[in-house]
């Protein structure tokens, strides 16, 4: 008699816990696109690489890694991480583009939230 009551309660508890963890994981994955714009880097793209990376089970992210040369001839490592959803558009940049990158600094790289391509200006 006790097992007829306890086993369904345990099953319902684990079902509820799993649904809660899935919802939290989805929210963390969807928030990857929301990067606070605390800093800006301006420069020319000298190297880029793109890849699709597994985030969690059936969720994927598009990772765009850039190396940008600034006016002071510094090179910065930059990542743009975009969750791959139904209507996701990945940024289209190419080597030689002059860009403004808005985002914030993480451990050893700059995480970008918005990329703005500016027209190339010939400096004297």
Task: Return the closest-CA partner of residue 46 out of 11, 15, 12, 75.
Answer: 75
Query: Please, which residues have CB within 8 angstroms of residue 38's CB and are 6 or more apart in sequence?
Result: 103, 104, 105
Closest C-alpha to 115, from 61, 47, 45, 62: 45
Q: Which of 89, 117, 112 shows the shortest CA–CA distance to 102?
A: 112
pLDDT of residue 122: 54
Domains of the chain: 31-118 (2.40.50)
CA angle 22, 51, 25 (to 5 degrees): 10
Residues of the chain with pLDDT > 70, as a percent, come to 96
- 34-62 pLDDT per residue, tens: 999 999 989 899 999 999 999 988 899 99
């Amino acid at each position: 008699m006790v097992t007829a009551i306890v086993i369904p309660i345990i099953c319902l508890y684990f079902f509820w816990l799993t649904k809660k963890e899935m919802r939290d994981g989805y929210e963390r994955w969807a928030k990857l696109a929301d990067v606070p714009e605390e800093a800006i880097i301006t420069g020319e793209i000298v190297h880029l690489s793109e890849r699709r990376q597994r985030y969690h089970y059936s969720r994927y992210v598009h990772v765009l890694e850039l190396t940008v040369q600034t006016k002071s001839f510094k090179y910065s490592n930059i990542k743009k991480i975009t969750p791959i959803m139904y209507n996701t558009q990945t940024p289209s940049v190419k080597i030689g583009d002059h860009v403004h990158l808005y985002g914030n600094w993480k451990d050893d790289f700059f995480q970008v939230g918005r990329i703005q391509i500016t027209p190339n200006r010939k400096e004297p």
